Amino acid sequence: MCLSIKNINKQHGKDCSVANNISFDIKEGQLGALIGPSGCGKTTMLRMIAGFETPDSGSISICGRDAFSQKKNMPPEKRQTGMVFQDYALFPHLTVYENITFGPAKNSKKEIKTLISMTGLSGNEKKYPHELSGGQQQRVALARALAPKPGLLLMDEPFSNLDVSLREILSEEVRFILKEYGTTGLLVTHNQHEAFAMADRIGVMMAGDLLQWDSADNLYYQPVSPEVASFVGEGSFVNANYNHSGKMKSELGEIKGKDLYGNNVQGPVKIFVRPENVFINHDSPHKGKLMKSHFRGPGRFHTFELPSGDMLTCLDKCPKRLELKKEYGLSICYEKAAFFATN
């Protein structure tokens, strides 16, 4: 493992816990990401890995070496990590080339030239940071972090100062660059699209807890908790009841639940369904009143109110407008839903 985090705990004061027994691993060459709302502890986790903050307990291993344990706390400059900061932290009085080669670069001039080309900065070597766009400045920061050939690259909200379209483009480009360079990395962001575009493994953090460390696909389709389900992407919860006969009853009908949910749970259940798995079905006896609707190419995004008052969102691929306050038949794809016991 290039990065191994074991049972890390950290508190700020008596009542503020920012890391609760956190463990995860990143293999060599993989890209990881930590996502979560502001104040969940993800940036503190990154700073502890870099050596800027000290955990209360646990262990951190980087590139097979103990960076932190109860007996050891390696200083930041010895950890073989590179850092890309939120504000780029470029030297305004140095050129692009001088910024990239500042510090303990291990590359030859030929390798630096290749790195500049790989990061799309060819022709800008003699320019100063104020002469570059935000995207170009971020590329300079990335190239400078890669120049010392770190074993692990840490990225703290690296695209937050860029506009939305440039974020998505640059996140894909950075993934390509890091994969080409063979660099292992960990990204911290509150933007799920960036994490999904860049990372092989993603962790969802809330209130100091790592709720799930998994692939993007599993986070989206197989969330382990209602908190992960509601944080990642969009969706709705539908109340249901799982009975002794293995059937699940909800406002949207009855299904045989044992193949989907298991035989060991009975009683109240919450069904979490994504908007793309909710369908307008004119033959369905289960109705919902259309409360809101807006265009979201190539279709429309609807919000229906069920008889219980619960709201159900639907991504309808048909761009045709529907009548507000009117009831429509609804059905959902249970095979792509997630189920959570509520007792």
Q: What is the pTM of this model?
A: 0.90
Q: Which residues lie across from 60 on neighbouring strands?
A: 5, 68
Given a cut of 80, whether residue 69 has pLDDT beyond it is yes
Q: Which residues lie across from 10 on neighbouring strands?
A: 19
Task: Give the whole-angstrom CA distance, residue 31 versus residue 243.
Answer: 43
Question: What's residue 258's pLDDT?
Answer: 53
Q: Based on the number of CB atoms within 10 Å of its own CB, is 231 exposed (0-12), middle (13-18) or buried (19 or more)?
A: buried
pLDDT in tens, 144-188: 999 888 999 999 988 887 787 778 888 888 899 899 889 999 999
With pLDDT > 70 as the criterion, what percentage of the chain qualifies? 96
Question: What's residue 2's pLDDT?
Answer: 94
DSSP code at position 337: -
